[in-house]
Amino acid sequence: MGHLNLDELRTKVNELNTQILDLINERTEIVQEIGKVKEKQGVNRYDPIREREMLNFLKEYNKGPLPNGVMEHIFKGIFMSALEIQEDEQRNALLVSRKKKSEDTIVNINGQAIGNGRPSFIFGPCAVESYEQVLTVAKELQAKGQKLIRGGAYKPRTSPYDFQGLGLEGLKILKRAADETGLAVVSEIVTPAHLEEALDYIDVIQIGARNMHNFELLKEAGSVNKPVLLKRGLAATLDEFINAAEYIISQGNDQIILCERGIRTYERATRNTLDISAVPILKQETHLPVFVDVTHSTGRRDILLPTAKAALAVGADGVMAEVHPDPAVALSDSAQQMDLDQFDAFYSALMDYLKVHA
Ligand SMILES: [Mn+2]
């Protein structure tokens, strides 16, 4: 080849590049075919044994000058790219995906629209403790024109010796106070066994952070005709969070609100780390409304307002926060719930912010 000049050599390289590219594309098409066959058979697409066999064969076949280590590296890349393309296609095919449905899903809670462009709010005590306690908060919300109240009747707590909630009795208290004040009830359900009896008392099924991976509960919530508020698991990636929502929608229920509630990191200044970037990403990747729970993400009353503003500024459809008539004696999360005066200040400041930035 010594007689060829540099330009001719480069032209040859260009030709080879396009030939290699054509071959890789041809290979990708065949791998996609294999993927479809495997999907029908329910077999995993990634097959490490097959990959080892292919690499061993190529090593024996390799006549050089390409060293085997470099050859393996290149082919690992080719193998991986085919797999990645298939995974991308799978992700696009999710029912919760924005690519599947471009327009926003609006969740309807007793006529109250969530995700229609106007921010919504979910306030209420961490746990239902008594009728008087819930009614006090409910009246406060009614006076402010709010439509939703939260309260935990089943409390999944870190310690089994901590207050576990009033159970069904708690749901009945919530329902009674909510009916008297024209509010809709958001409450957590922790097991499919409680779901059916709870449906008479709640308007939104909350699935908590600790249950985001409870696939039986997700499927059960997906098969009933009630909106679901799904919280992100404390160590869940956004991909896992989106797939948890897919479990619900795959059963037919598309009335899902996603709720970012902070993730566990090494930072101790806040109870969890509020992943604010999750909001725009979830809005881009899915068509579902997205809430931010400022109470559990921060665990700090002093930064509820700025984080709530941040949530709305990045495009959240709503904010959730805990309010208790007397947080000092609350049976759970006493350090982070707002009392009624603090709530009043928080609420008016947030409304002022919205007036300016709506
Ligand atoms: Mn709480």
Q: How far is the CA of 128 from the centre of ligand 1 (A)?
A: 11
- What is the model's pLDDT at position 256? 98
Q: Is the pLDDT of residue 348 over 60?
A: yes
Q: How far is the CA of 246 from the centre of ligand 1 (A)?
A: 25
**What is the Cα 347 distance to its own chain's centre?**
26
pTM for the model stands at 0.81
- Contact between 304 and 294 (Cβ < 8 Å): yes
Q: How far is the CA of 146 from the centre of ligand 1 (A)?
A: 20
Cβ neighbours for 352, distance < 8 A, ≥ 6 positions apart: none
Q: How far is the CA of 252 from the centre of ligand 1 (A)?
A: 29
Cβ neighbours for 144, distance < 8 A, ≥ 6 positions apart: 347
Q: What percent of the chain has pLDDT over 90?
A: 83
Q: How far is the CA of 323 from the centre of ligand 1 (A)?
A: 10
- Contact between 173 and 149 (Cβ < 8 Å): no
- The rounded mean pLDDT for the chain is 94
- What is the model's pLDDT at position 243? 97
Name the residue type at position 180: E
Q: Is the pLDDT of residue 40 over 80?
A: yes
- What is the model's pLDDT at position 120? 97
Give me the domains of the chain, ranges plus CATH numbers: 6-92 (1.20.59.10), 107-357 (3.20.20.70)
Cβ neighbours for 346, distance < 8 A, ≥ 6 positions apart: 304, 305, 308, 321, 338
Q: State how far the alpha carbon of 148 is from the alpha carbons of 80, 198, 226, 303, in Å.
A: 48, 17, 14, 23
- What is the model's pLDDT at position 2? 59
- What is the model's pLDDT at position 157? 85
Token pair for residue 232? 């992100």
Q: How far is the CA of 316 from the centre of ligand 1 (A)?
A: 20
Token pair for residue 173? 């208290």
- Whole-number Å distance between alpha carbons of 195 and 212: 15
- Whole-number Å distance between alpha carbons of 90 and 29: 16
- Contact between 222 and 244 (Cβ < 8 Å): no
How confident is residue 1, by pLDDT bands cut at 50, 70 and 90? low
How confident is residue 142, by pLDDT bands cut at 50, 70 and 90? very high
- What is the model's pLDDT at position 332? 87
- Whole-number Å distance between alpha carbons of 240 and 212: 9
Q: What are phi and psi of 337, to 5 degrees?
A: -80, 150
Q: How far is the CA of 53 from the centre of ligand 1 (A)?
A: 53
User: Which helix (H) or strand (E) segment is 336 a member of?
Assistant: none
Token pair for residue 357? 């930035």
Q: What sections of the chain are H helices per DSSP?
A: 6-41, 48-61, 68-92, 131-143, 168-181, 192-198, 215-222, 238-249, 278-285, 294-298, 304-313, 340-357
Closest CA to 241 of 207, 272, 194, 205: 207
Q: What percent of the chain has pLDDT over 70?
A: 99
80 vs 88, more confident: 80
Q: State how far the alpha carbon of 6 is from the alpha carbons of 10, 13, 236, in Å.
A: 6, 10, 54
Q: How far is the CA of 296 from the centre of ligand 1 (A)?
A: 6
Q: How far is the CA of 251 from the centre of ligand 1 (A)?
A: 29
Burial of residue 142 (number of CB atoms within 10 Å: 0-12, 13-18, 19+): middle
Q: What is the mean pLDDT of residues 347-357?
A: 95
- What is the model's pLDDT at position 267? 97
- What is the model's pLDDT at position 90? 73
Q: Is the dihedral of CA 54, 55, 60, 64 positive or negative?
A: positive
Residue 199 three-state SS: coil
Q: Output the CA torsion 104→107→108→113 (10° steps).
A: -60
Tens-place pLDDT, residues 285-314? 999 999 999 999 999 999 999 999 999 999
Name the residue type at position 173: I
- Contact between 232 and 242 (Cβ < 8 Å): no
Tens-place pLDDT, residues 168-192? 999 999 999 999 999 999 999 999 9
**CB neighbourhood size of 209 (10 A):** 23
Q: Is the pLDDT of residue 132 over 60?
A: yes
- What is the model's pLDDT at position 48? 81
Tens-place pLDDT, residues 227-281? 999 999 999 999 999 999 999 999 999 999 999 999 999 999 999 999 999 999 9
